[in-house]
């Protein structure tokens, strides 16, 4: 039953207002309006009867400020009409979304009709912390640097911090191709959100999905570099709304790829500047952290529901600067990070996953006996410690020369070479099982004398060292 | 309900809503906004306009929507049922919300913080007709096996006890006492309310003399915190702030722990919720959850409630302090709280100071940290609140405003270091940048535990670490080989101290908690190694003679192999060390 107020709204929502007061970039100011809600969807009809979508950002008595997702070019203030829909932006979800492609606002771009299903608010709702199920299930990506050292678990959000020219594309594609839960044959569904990336980059991903036969379990949301930047503010939310539907309504395990989050943040900064908000670091708005959290926190699992959402966002570091606000704030929200290193890449090592700054916070609960193997935790810890030592010795060697180093230090350097050349490095189509990864870890570690291995128990040494 | 319309919404832009208001509206009054009755608080009034900070998402809110006043400031409910609960930033019980509204937090749902149906067994402690003052204990409720909940008269009450309930089972809303307050009868239920932004009164501050034992070696031995003290833990992402806060919440010897997850990850709260009920508190033999209260306002929950969450947490802490308990408050992370403050300030178009933060940031920080302390309660007990605040500086840069301003109000600083975290040295507390100003205050307690040697040994090991840092600069340029043995032994001892002592594995059963006695023995062993070997080198021995002695392995493994109560085993290592150094020296001679 409608309450009186809702009835009013239903009537008012059909009302159309002619004329807008101000157009500035993607922002519109409208006055003479009545009963408009905050953060609600509007339709802007231009002189040529084309409908564009927008959203209210600031509402007051008789006036509102709105952003237009498809840009404001060609709008004539006097001839523009505005309709208020009285609801937040929604997308339609149905099982048929699998295998489909949508634009950044969730409208089909594959010449098929929109999915016939329930409409969901793209903003979602925060998961009650008491309803969350703690992620513990190991995902085997087949990449040693990830599985062995920075393990991904189901329901985690683990971004890839990349730089321009680094092969994050190949790594993401390899993860989506190879990711599986050992002992389960159900593959992951993939929700792909492309934000501000180039057309050919998007094609690379889509072709990859097609070639691996995964296309029928992929949903793509594309807001490419030539789309209006404001549209990008919705793209990850639309994608996550679809992911939540697949995971929590249909019980599927979903891998969400968001690329590139830095482009998303650029769009947020653009709107914030247009609205003349007080900027914080590098001109990004003060609420960048909360805004990013509203995206990243939509990963996870819920007690009593079968599906899960695992996020692998790509965050590019401008100038390879990890302290730039976007990677920095991302790192504070996500559960670890996979950092790509230019130096490794230049030496031809693929995947160039930096040994030390990479981290998976949920690794500790997803590995060990019954999940991977009993020696995994100590082995990883020892590899990290030994590799840190390699870095120190290399710094020294660059000053005094390798010949001057004591024998032990030279052994460390040999370990470093083996670690990077054999353990980190692998082919793009090489899918290593976790046992292979761990055995390889022991093989490279065995180049070091056993007295150096402080983080490993005697028993493990007996069982694995030098084997 | 006792409420009326105080105005209507005029403008909505994010979490701050501009409304009209009648003369009845008060500053910091709790209000309900719109048809969904979103919870809010009046934060500014100018003539007939009020600004309301809304604790829920304001999507869909329209100008013209009604605003209902409550006449009360934003308060928390204090009474039996707090222990083991998980609340959001404005004390809504999250498990009840889940039962009511499902797995996602929808808007406009509300539930009382304390269960209204549950009955508690109340045992009166006073007899009728006696005088009552604020904070006096009226009776007891056994809330958990570990915690005896003292039912206190609200701090503002004074008068004669007219009636007190007999021993029996009561719901929180039932009247358990009536007090004649200046001739007016006041009925007291089992719980009372207290405004979150006002600190609860006490009878005076006391000297800080006892450490809060955390079981973390680098903290207790090097940078201790006193009961009633305040600590800040700054660190970039991935340096282990949350790991330290969790370790402290698990192992510190406080009676009550209030853990405030302020704008952090949802899964971290889930981890606490799944792990704590299974962990057993070594002192009480009860699950850790039986002394823990969680405030969870995760990063995706509304930003205004994040601002309120640390006040909600500290007010609950003060309530337990008033019962005579030692309370530890972990606030993770105060930077997110400061950012919420910044966002709300920006939305109210206030003039920003540094990096967009409002100029009153230091005042608010001081107000929060000053609510910690060792006090004499109104009931005459000695009790404390120790506050440990995490700070997340952007880019790990400690010169940013929140870290810098916080440093003014704290006395212990645990600087987390990215380099240490990268080489997986945890806890990644940097021993050169961190400090504790409580060392002198608690030296007496520690020296009693470590047979008068704690302060001296602490100074000795810090000086070794200092020398190591200087030598390390030389080593970076020319390698360690060129140093004389008398200097290399410093490097050797420092490396041993780092590996065997400073690094602590919070996932290892034996190592997660290290007792004060074990810590002091371990430190003694490492210093003895340094002293004996240096001495031997001075007499002409070579360092190489000692680096391969078997006891070194025992020292490296002692944290995993010797139990907290196992003093004999550590003494045996010490004896073995002395014997083998002597033996080597003879062999050399």
DSSP states of B549-576: -THHHHHHHHHHHS-TT-HHHHHHHHHH
Q: Are A199 and A62 contained in the same domain?
A: no
Find out whether A444 and A438 touch, Cβ atoms under 8 Å.
no
Instruction: List the alpha helices (DSSP H) in B416-550.
Output: 418-422, 439-449, 454-478, 485-496, 516-538, 544-547
pLDDT at residue B251 in the model? 92
Phi, psi values for residue B326, rounded to 5°: -90, 120
pLDDT at position A442 is 96
Instruction: Return the closest-CA partner of residue B104 out of A126, A396, A10.
Output: A126
CB hemisphere CA count around A402 (13 angstroms): 7
Q: What is the pLDDT of residue A1?
A: 32
Q: What is the rounded distance in angstroms from the CA atom of residue B584 to the CA atom of residue A364?
A: 42
User: In this complex, do B60 and A404 lie within 8 Å of one another by their Cβ atoms?
Assistant: no
Token pair for A436: 């292979």
Domain boundary residue, one of A67, A88, A109: A88
Same domain for A99 and A230, yes or no, is yes
Chain B residues with CB-CB distance to A126 below 8 A: 104-105, 266, 298, 300-301
**Secondary structure of B382-449 in the HEC alphabet?**
EEEEEEEEEECCHHHCCCCHHHHHHHCCCCEECCECHHHHHCCCCCCECCCCCEECCHHHHHHHHHHH
**Residue among B98, B423, B478 whose CB faces A385 most closely:** B423
Whether residue B48 lies within 8 A of chain A, CB to CB, comes out as: no
Mutate to test the interface with A, among B62, B108, B243 (most CBs of A within 10 A): B62
- Chain centroid to CA B488: how far? 40
Q: Is B67 in CB contact (< 8 Å) with chain A?
A: no
What is the rounded CA–CA span in Å between residue B331 and residue B242?
A: 10
Q: Reduced to 3 states, what is the DSSP secondary structure of residue B41?
A: strand
Q: Are residues A262 and A407 in the same domain?
A: no
Last residue of a domain, one of A308, A331, A365: A365
Q: Say which DSSP state B348 is in.
A: T
| B-proximal residues of A, 401-420, CB under 8 Å | 404-406, 409
Residue A121 and residue A232 share a domain: yes
Burial B120-131 (b: 16+ CB within 10 A, else e): bebebebeeeee
Give the end of a domain, one of A43, A70, A88: A88
CA B279 to CA B260: how far, in whole Å?
A: 19
Q: Please tell me the distance from the alpha carbon of residue A112 to that of residue A101, in angstroms, as a whole number.
A: 9
Q: Is B238 in contact with A359 (Cβ distance < 8 A)?
A: yes
- State how far the Cα of B380 lies from the Cα of A120, in Å rounded to an integer: 57
Examine the domain organization and report whether A36 and A124 are in the same domain. Answer: no
Phi, psi of B57, rounded to the nearest 5 degrees: -65, 135
- State which H helix or E strand residue B346 sits in: helix B334-347
> Would the CB atoms of A294 and B300 count as touching at under 8 Å?
yes
Tell me chain B's radius of gyration from C-alpha atoms. Answer: 27
Same domain, yes or no: A200 and A119 = yes
Q: Are residues A80 and A132 in the same domain?
A: no
Return d(Cα B336, Cα A290) in angstroms, integer. 9
Q: Which of A61, A66, A71 is CA-nearest to residue A88? A: A66
Domain membership flag for residue A370: no
Distance between CA atoms of residues A298 and A295, nearest Å: 6
Q: Which residue has the tokens 């096996």?
A: B145
B residues 263-302 lying closer than 8 A (beta carbon) to A:
263, 265-267, 269-271, 273-274, 296, 298-301
The stretches in chain A having pLDDT less than 70 are 1-14
**In this complex, is the C-beta atom of A148 within 8 Å of any C-beta atom belonging to chain B?**
no
- What stretch of H or E contains A398? helix A376-400
Same domain (yes/no): A9, A116: no
Nearest chain B CA: its distance from A130 CA (Å): 6
Q: Are A141 and A175 in contact (CB under 8 A)?
A: yes
A61: three-class secondary structure by DSSP? coil
Determine the residue of chain B that is closest to A358 in CA distance: B422
Query: Which chain B residues are Cβ-neighbours of A413 within 8 angstroms?
Result: none
Determine contact: B5 vs chain A, CB below 8 A.
no
DSSP string covering A339-395, please?
EB-HHHHHTT-SS-B-TTT-EETTHHHH-STTTS-TTHHHHHHHHHHHHHHHHHHHH
Say how far apart CA A250 and CA B213 lie, in whole Å. Answer: 49
Which residue in the set B238, B266, B346 is minimally distant from A297, CB to CB? B266
Based on the number of CB atoms within 10 Å of its own CB, is A400 exposed (0-12), middle (13-18) or buried (19 or more)?
middle
Q: Which of residues 206-235 of B touch A (CB under 8 A)?
A: none
On whether any CB of chain A is under 8 Å from the CB of B354, the answer is no
Test B346 with A286 for CB contact under 8 angstroms. yes
**Dihedral sign for Cα atoms in the order B213, B214, B215, B221:** negative
**pLDDT value for B589:** 66
In degrees to the nearest 10, what's the CA dihedral of A259, A264, A266, A270?
160
Question: How far is residue B420's CA from residue B443's CA, in Å, rounded to a whole number?
Answer: 28
Low-confidence ranges of chain B (pLDDT < 70): 1-3, 588-589
Helix residue spans in A158-212 (DSSP H): 168-178, 199-211
Distance of CA B195 to the CA centre of its chain: 21
Residue window 302-331, chain A: list those with CB within 8 Å of chain B.
302-303, 305, 323, 325, 328-329, 331
| Ordered DSSP codes for B275-327 | HTTTSB-TTT-SBGGGGEEEEEE-TTS-HHHHHHHHHHHHHHHHHHHHTT-EE
Residue A371 included in any domain: no
Cis peptide before A78 (omega within 30 of 0): no
| Same domain, residue pair A180 and A304 | yes
Give the count of domains, chain A.
3
Q: How far is A447 from chain B (nearest CA, A)?
A: 19
Phi, psi of B333 (to 5 degrees): -130, 145
Task: Tell me the two tokens of residue B221.
Answer: 């031995």
- Domain coverage including residue A256: 91-365
C-alpha dihedral, B345 to B348 to B354 to B360, nearest 10°? -60
Asked if B263 and A385 come within 8 Å (Cβ–Cβ), the reply is: no
Within this chain, do residues A27 and A63 fall inside the same structural domain, yes or no? yes
Residues A75 and A33 in one domain: yes
Q: What pLDDT is attached to residue B252? A: 93
Measure B394 CA to nearest chain A CA, in Å: 7
Residue A125 inside a domain? The answer is yes
Find, among B20, B463, B507, the residue nearest to B247 by Cα: B507
Partners of residue B10 in chain A, C-beta under 8 Å: 60-61
| CA gap A192, A205 in Å, rounded | 9
The CATH number that applies at residue A47 is 2.40.30.20
Instruction: Note whether residue A192 is domain-resident.
Output: yes
How many alpha carbons lie under 13 Å from residue B472 in its C-beta half-sphere?
Answer: 13
CB contact (8 A) between residue B424 and residue A381? yes
Asked whether residue A280 falls in the same domain as residue A403, the answer is no
- pLDDT for the residue B3: 64
* DSSP-based three-state secondary structure for A56: strand
B109 phi/psi in degrees, rounded to 5: -95, 145
Q: What residues contact B152, with CB distance under 8 A and at least 6 apart?
A: B135, B136, B137, B138, B322, B323, B378, B379
């Amino acid at each position: 039953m409608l309450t009186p107020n809702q009835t009013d709204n239903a009537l008012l929502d059909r009302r159309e207002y002619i004329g807008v007061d101000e157009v500035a970039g993607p922002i519109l100011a409208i006055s003479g309006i009545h009963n408009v809600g905050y953060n609600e969807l509007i339709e802007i009809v231009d002189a040529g009867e084309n409908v564009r979508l927008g959203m209210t950002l600031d509402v007051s008595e008789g006036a509102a400020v709105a952003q237009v997702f498809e840009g404001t070019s060609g709008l004539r203030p006097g001839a523009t009409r505005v309709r208020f829909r009285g609801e937040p932006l929604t997308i339609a979800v149905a099982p048929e979304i699998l295998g489909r492609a949508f634009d950044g606002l969730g409208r089909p771009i594959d010449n098929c009709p929109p999915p016939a299903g329930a409409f969901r608010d793209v903003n979602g709702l925060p998961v009650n912390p008491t309803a969350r199920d703690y992620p513990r299930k190991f995902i085997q990506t087949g990449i040693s640097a990830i599985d062995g050292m920075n393990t991904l678990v189901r329901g985690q959000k683990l971004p890839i911090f990349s730089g321009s020219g680094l092969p994050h594309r190949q790594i993401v594609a390899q993860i989506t191709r190879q990711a599986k839960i050992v002992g389960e044959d159900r593959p992951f569904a993939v929700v792909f959100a492309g934000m501000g990336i180039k057309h050919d980059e998007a094609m690379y991903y889509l072709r990859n999905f097609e070639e691996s036969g995964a296309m029928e379990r992929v949903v793509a949301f594309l807001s490419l570099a030539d789309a209006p930047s404001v549209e990008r503010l919705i793209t990850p939310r639309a994608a996550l709304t679809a992911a939540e539907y697949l995971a929590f309504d249909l019980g599927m395990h979903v891998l969400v790829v968001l690329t590139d989050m830095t482009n998303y943040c650029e769009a947020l900064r653009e709107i914030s500047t247009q609205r003349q908000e007080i900027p914080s670091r590098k001109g990004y708005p003060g609420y960048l952290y909360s805004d990013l959290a509203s995206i990243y926190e939509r990963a996870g699992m819920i007690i009593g529901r079968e599906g899960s959402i695992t996020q692998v966002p790509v965050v590019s570091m401008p100038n390879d600067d990890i302290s730039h606000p976007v990677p920095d704030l991302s790192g504070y929200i996500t559960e670890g990070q996979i950092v790509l290193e230019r130096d490794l890449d230049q030496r031809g090592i693929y995947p160039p996953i930096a040994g030390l700054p990479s981290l998976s916070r949920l690794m500790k609960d997803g590995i060990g006996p019954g999940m991977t193997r009993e020696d995994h935790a100590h082995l990883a810890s020892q590899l990290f410690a030994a590799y840190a030592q390699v870095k120190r010795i290399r710094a020294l060697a660059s000053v005094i020369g390798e010949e001057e180093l004591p024998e032990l230090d030279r052994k460390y350097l040999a370990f470093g070479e083996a670690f990077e050349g054999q353990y980190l490095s692998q082919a793009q189509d090489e899918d290593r099982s976790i046992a292979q990864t761990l055995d390889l870890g022991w093989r490279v570690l065995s180049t070091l004398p056993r007295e150096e291995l402080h983080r490993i128990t005697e028993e493990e040494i007996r069982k694995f060292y030098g084997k | 309900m006792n409420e009326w319309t105080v105005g209507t919404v005029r403008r909505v832009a994010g979490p701050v809503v501009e409304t009209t208001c009648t003369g009845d509206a008060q500053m910091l009054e709790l209000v309900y906004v719109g048809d969904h009755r979103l919870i809010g608080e009046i934060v500014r009034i100018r003539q007939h306009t009020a600004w309301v900070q809304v604790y829920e998402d304001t999507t869909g809110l329209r100008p013209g929507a009604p605003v209902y006043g409550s006449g009360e400031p934003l308060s928390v409910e204090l009474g039996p049922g707090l222990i083991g609960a998980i609340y959001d930033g404005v004390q809504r019980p999250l498990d009840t919300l889940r039962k009511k509204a499902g797995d996602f937090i929808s808007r406009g749902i509300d539930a009382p913080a304390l269960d209204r149906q549950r009955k508690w067994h109340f045992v009166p402690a006073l007899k009728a007709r006696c005088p009552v003052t604020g904070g006096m204990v009226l009776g007891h409720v056994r809330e958990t096996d570990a915690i005896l909940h003292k039912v206190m008269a609200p701090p503002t009450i004074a008068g004669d006890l007219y009636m007190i309930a007999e021993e029996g089972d009561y719901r929180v809303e039932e009247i358990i006492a009536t007090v004649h307050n200046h001739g007016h009868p006041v009925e007291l239920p089992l719980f009372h309310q207290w405004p979150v932004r006002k600190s609860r009164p006490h009878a005076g501050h006391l000297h800080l003399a006892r450490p809060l034992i955390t079981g973390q070696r680098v903290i207790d031995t090097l940078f201790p915190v006193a009961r009633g003290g305040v600590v800040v833990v700054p660190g970039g992402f991935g340096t282990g702030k949350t790991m330290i806060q969790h370790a402290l919440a698990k192992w510190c010897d406080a009676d009550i722990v209030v853990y405030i997850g302020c704008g952090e990850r949802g899964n971290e709260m889930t981890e606490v919720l799944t792990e704590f009920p299974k962990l057993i508190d070594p002192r009480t033999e009860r699950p850790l959850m039986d002394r823990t209260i969680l405030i969870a306002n995760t990063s995706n929950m509304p930003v205004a409630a994040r601002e309120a969450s640390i006040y909600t947490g500290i007010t609950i802490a003060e309530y337990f302090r008033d019962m005579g308990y030692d309370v530890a408050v972990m606030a993770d992370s105060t930077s997110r709280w400061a950012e919420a403050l910044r966002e709300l300030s920006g939305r109210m178009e206030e003039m920003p100071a540094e990096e967009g933060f409002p100029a009153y940031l230091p005042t608010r920080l001081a107000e929060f940290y000053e609510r910690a302390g060792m006090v004499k309660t109104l009931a005459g007990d000695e009790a404390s609140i120790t506050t440990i605040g995490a700070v997340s500086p952007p880019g790990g840069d400690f010169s940013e405003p929140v870290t810098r301003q916080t440093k003014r109000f704290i006395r212990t600083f645990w600087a987390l270091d990215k380099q240490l975290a990268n080489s997986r040295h945890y806890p990644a507390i940097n021993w050169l940048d961190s400090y504790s100003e409580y060392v002198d205050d608690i030296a007496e307690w520690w020296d009693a535990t470590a047979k008068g040697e704690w302060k001296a040994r602490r100074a000795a090991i810090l000086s070794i670490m200092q020398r190591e840092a200087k030598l390390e600069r030389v080593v970076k340029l020319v390698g360690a080989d060129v140093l004389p043995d008398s200097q290399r032994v410093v490097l050797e001892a420092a490396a041993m101290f780092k590996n065997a002592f400073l690094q602590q594995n919070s996932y290892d059963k034996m190592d997660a908690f290290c007792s004060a006695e074990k810590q002091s023995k371990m430190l003694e062993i490492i210093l003895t190694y340094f002293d004996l070997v240096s001495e031997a080198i001075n007499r002409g021995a070579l360092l190489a003679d000692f680096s391969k002695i078997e006891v070194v392995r025992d020292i490296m493994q002692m944290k995993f192999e010797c139990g907290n109560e196992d003093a004999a085993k550590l003494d045996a290592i010490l004896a073995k060390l002395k014997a083998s150094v002597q033996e080597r020296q003879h062999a050399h001679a």
